[in-house]
Chain A
């Protein structure tokens, strides 16, 4: 469950990025967050992963109020929320396997457990045969699947996908969306941040539209209306 109560965010005095946002997302929902560039979508993602602090309101994830989360607590929040980005954000000097394993290694998980989890998520995203390749040796779609595998290693309750198909062709983009739908079916809340009209319309899931930092529409089984 994600709950935003009157959330406002501004970087400069008088320039509001988000204005009094009220949102409630149930556990296990698949939500598309749409809006044009600069509408405040990415700021919302940054707030949800503890990268940005809000000026007003409250942000609650599950039973954790992260409104005033400390720097020390941020790593623990990140282990509970999977995030993927348009530019994949893989470590270029590590193989696909090492990139996925890294997220567990830095949490002090034992090697046996790491091998088991990484094998299983690599299988889920269909990359077990390319695990020893470096990011630059595989396609964009495969890099994004690696990023998804990495985001799943902690079995997060929430997966935030910030423009995950932005750098991909339509075939790879559809594969990534299919993968997100499969992950959602396992019970993970998926928040898809995008401005890809076609994808949103195909999904027929809840659509929240943001414009100039405000929620302008929130529809069950909605369409991209902006």
Chain B
């Protein structure tokens, strides 16, 4: 048994090294297939992060009356914080609102001049409420509407509801389209991997015939090719790791500029999920390799 295993490994390694151009061609095709999968994965991760970042930015502003006392505001804040659908509640005083307004419009001198000429702070204090889940925001708005408090100046959230619905709609569509594209890419890549290994075995059909002729048992015909397919998978995953990390390194600075303030680090994602991402890719390509080897050899050797 051990001797047979050693010989199967020997035949497989001999086959790979003595058909080096076929090995290079097969591994290159597998690397290209994996490159498309990983590129898609990168796009998917970035879009998911972008959606999450947009959702993080969704909040509900509850404007309060200017003469509301600190005590009333704290009581209202506590009441809203206790709502299960609210993630956090932040208080913005009149002074803070004015400071943010000035900061936001620092490049618009006409706005700042108008504010100065007004001679008073026209802004209201507010409570900024971040929902736990953007999908639950409409229900949270309904709960907020039902609060009985004199210090609430405005309860009209019509615009917010519409925007939230749009965000939910867009993110849902992006997820659906993303899933569809992932499926197409995966399917195409699997087909490419499947066919490249089948072609590699097709070139060996004469050898398979000779193996049968000299009385090779099925395992001696089948297993070296299966092992070769697993080695192709291993080599292609190692190569994709060596190629893809430098590519991510080049991509990261551009992402930092593009997603400013969102703290997206694609390299960290690929490092933290290394074994899941590349382990699964190795298992998937190996499985495809074993399947295509089995089907191709069955055809040429009638194993």
Identify the A interface with B (CB < 8 A): 49, 71-72, 74-79, 83, 89-94, 102-103, 105-108, 110, 150, 154
Q: A76 touches which one: B15, B206, B211, B215 (CB < 8 A)?
A: B215
Return chain B residues, CB-CB under 8 Å to A90.
210
Residue of B7, B210, B220 with most chain A CB atoms under a 10 A cut-off: B210
B18 an interface residue at 8 Å Cβ cutoff?
A: yes
* A83 and B3 contact, CB distance less than 8 A: no
Q: Other CB < 8 Å A-B pairs besides A75-B217, A92-B207, 10 of them?
A: A75-B212, A89-B210, A89-B213, A93-B207, A102-B211, A102-B214, A103-B215, A106-B211, A106-B215, A106-B220
Count B-side interface residues using an 8 Å CB cutoff: 22
Known contacts A71-B302, A89-B209, A91-B207: A106-B14 contact under CB 8 Å: no
B105 an interface residue at 8 Å Cβ cutoff?
A: no
CA distance A89 to B214 in the complex (A): 10
* A108 and B3 contact, CB distance less than 8 A: yes
CA distance A90 to B213 in the complex (A): 10
Interface residue SS majority, chain A? loop
B78 an interface residue at 8 Å Cβ cutoff?
A: no
B74 an interface residue at 8 Å Cβ cutoff?
A: no
Identify the B interface with A (CB < 8 A): 3-4, 7, 14-15, 18-19, 206-207, 209-218, 220, 302-303
Q: A91 touches which one: B7, B210, B218, B303 (CB < 8 A)?
A: B210
9 A-B pairs (CB sep. < 8 Å): A49-B213, A71-B303, A91-B207, A93-B14, A93-B15, A103-B214, A106-B211, A106-B214, A110-B3
* A75 and B4 contact, CB distance less than 8 A: no
Distance in Å: Cβ of A104 to nearest Cβ of chain B: 9
CA distance A151 to B3 in the complex (A): 23
Return chain A residues, CB-CB under 8 Å to B18.
93
